[in-house]
Amino acid sequence: MAQRLALRQLLSLTPRTLPLQGQQVLPGPLAPRVPAVHHGRAFRTSAGCRSTFNVQDGSDFQDRVVNNPKPVVVDFHAQWCGPCKILGPRLEKVVAKQEGKVLMAKVDIDDHTDLAIEYEVSAVPTVLAMKNGDVVDKFVGIKDEDQLEAFLKKLIGA
């Protein structure tokens, strides 16, 4: 009962009346017995998050991949694909190490069948390397980190 009352009081607060950081939320006998402690956590995006994005539709692919001045690695994958679940994070990690020199677009073939057909994806995972809107390299299947780094260095021209 006390938990419901506390939750109701918390939910009734409007954004203007929310307490400042470090202030107690619940007044009176429902207040926690220990002082509020700030743990220094904040939500931030890592370099990996900024350089990797999910393609939303065909026009998004055109804008963010084909028309992009930076080289883009396109990961064609599917939710049900076991090897995709291994390759995806591995590829994201290697792309993040490039510190913005290359971007990564993720395309779910079940959601974007038209793109998969257009780029002749017949198996997943398929990874395309695109530069100035053109496919310059491609591989199908799983690769280890060293092979992925070599693939990206070839794309970047480093």
Which one of 55, 65, 72, 81 is the catalytic residue?
A: 81
Spatial contact of 88 and 125, defined as CB atoms under 8 Å apart: yes
With CA atoms as reference, report the closest residue to 99 among 156, 145, 138, 137: 156
Give the residue among 106, 51, 56, 117 at the shortest CA–CA distance from 79.
106
Among this protein's residues, is 84 annotated catalytic?
Answer: yes
Residue 5 CB neighbours (<10 A): 11
Annotated catalytic residue: which of 55, 72, 74, 84? 84
Catalytic residues: 81, 84
